[in-house]
Amino acid sequence: MTHKEKTLLSFDFGLRWIGCAVGQTLTGTASPQASLQAKDGIPRWEDIEALLLNWKPDAVIVGLPLNMDGSTSEMSLRARKFGNRIHGRFGITVHFADERLSSFEARGDIIDDTGSRDFKNQSIDSRSAAIILESWMREP
pLDDT of residue 70: 80
| 3-state SS assignment for residue 114 | helix
End-to-end Cα separation, the chain, in angstroms: 8
Residue type, 82: F
Provide CATH code, domain 7-138.
3.30.420.140
Predicted pLDDT at 96: 96
Q: Where are the domains of the chain?
A: 7-138
Rounded to 5, what percent of the chain is helix, strand, coil?
40, 25, 35
Cα–Cα distance measured from residue 16 to residue 97, given in angstroms and rounded to the nearest whole number:
20
Cα(20)–Cα(135) distance, rounded to whole angstroms?
15
Per-residue pLDDT, 4? 79
Ordered per-residue pLDDT tens for the chain, 140 residues: 445 789 999 999 999 999 999 999 999 999 999 999 999 999 999 999 999 999 999 999 999 988 878 888 899 999 999 999 999 999 999 999 988 655 544 445 544 554 544 444 447 888 899 999 999 998 86
Q: Would you state the pLDDT for residue 113?
A: 52
Give the side-chain half-sphere CA count within 13 A for 28: 8
pLDDT of residue 10: 97
Give CA–CA dist 52/71, Å, rounded.
30
